[in-house]
Structure 1
């Protein structure tokens, strides 16, 4: 987070182990040194489709019990799998997901069909990623301004 954003009251940082070629978590750790308690830090990792669901759920619970994580959440999973994971956690007295991060904006409203009702029912916090559709909802492309979409994406 840039110093100006923090000074303006921003305190939520979202990262992943694959951002900036795998170095983002180290960069953020250095940037927050001495002031970590003033920020909400969210990170994530990719789960393969071959690992049985109990394994990552138990591993996440182990990290919560060890004090390394405060809460666990999930990003970009289907509603049925999130519900299954939380039911499993509840039955085994493991830490359930407390939130879900999903792609949601005026151009991508598919979460309204299953993910948002599931989040409401399971009392999960929702964090949207891509809320401005990579800038398409800002109007900058209509004005000919540069952005990620103009750089091959």
Structure 2
């Protein structure tokens, strides 16, 4: 496994990040793995050299963090890059959500307890919070860094103007900066190429994109439990069926040309785009991780890339809320 610096930092992350949304409780979502199966996938990731694990407090309402923490407990802490996120509602309490000072302080302590660690390597805001002054959020995040509970800060899908405003305020006040962006990016959704990705390259921000397979569509998967029950997928895709089908057909053509699974091609494309640091791979079966790792060695020719990108048509902004 190769490793890359996360943006301008000295933090080394594996070129594949294991997404841990699939670990937790099937009562939260029917496609989520319970602990025993989750631990097998996490152990496989460690064996493959993956050192970066991305979860969130909202995944299975904390159960994902608990499972990840127990699964990684026997691995020396310095060998791990543990990333988690906050913002989404954890209960019906109006203060148990968002990016207020109150919730930032409560959320980091709760995540540390569930993860069984004294610090998080990358603490990310899980979308923008329009109900909280940005300065309040950024100052609170700076304080959790200064308290030693967090090593680096990251953000997730939002407008480029919002992200640049945050970076500007952090510089103005000398607050700990965002060093990474976790955004929605794949062959079926490339709107991030307009502003966010150029901004990240210009500012030296690491990019760890989510949903590189477009919720399995780019892997040619259909009829799965997640496909049948993932309500979010419908808000992200299915806007232009003809364009999406053409993209899938292009992926299939390139995969057949190389004699590899479609998912390998989709991963290889994302991983080699300018400025991309480490795509987030969700896995519920051993072959899912194996395919992602193999993608890092797959060389796409200029002709392959042109064929993959040609069918794309502009899409409505998706994934920011």
TM-score normalised by structure 2 residue count: 0.45
Report Cα offsets for 1:47-78 as digits up to 9, x if no partner: 43211001110111111111111110100121
Greater RCO structure (CA 8 Å; 6+ sep): 2
Report Cα offsets for 1:92-116 as digits up to 9, x if no partner: 1101100100010000001001110
Q: 1:43 maps to what in 2?
A: 84
Q: CA RMSD of the aligned region, Å?
A: 1.5
Structure 1 residues not aligned, in runs of 5+ = none
* C-alpha distance in 2 between matches for 1:152 and 1:16: 18
Superposed, 1:4-153 pairs within 5 Å as: 4-35=44-75, 36-46=77-87, 47=99, 48-141=129-222, 146-153=224-231
SS in 2 for 1:57: helix
* C-alpha distance in 1 between matches for 2:229 and 2:144: 39
- Check the 8 A contact 1:135/1:147 in 2, yes or no: no
Which consecutive segments of 4 or more residues in structure 1 shift more than 6 A? none
Decide which structure has the larger Cα Rg and report it: 2
Structure 2 residues not aligned, in runs of 5+ = 1-40, 88-98, 100-128, 232-321
SS in 1 for 2:183: strand
* C-alpha distance in 2 between matches for 1:152 and 1:65: 38
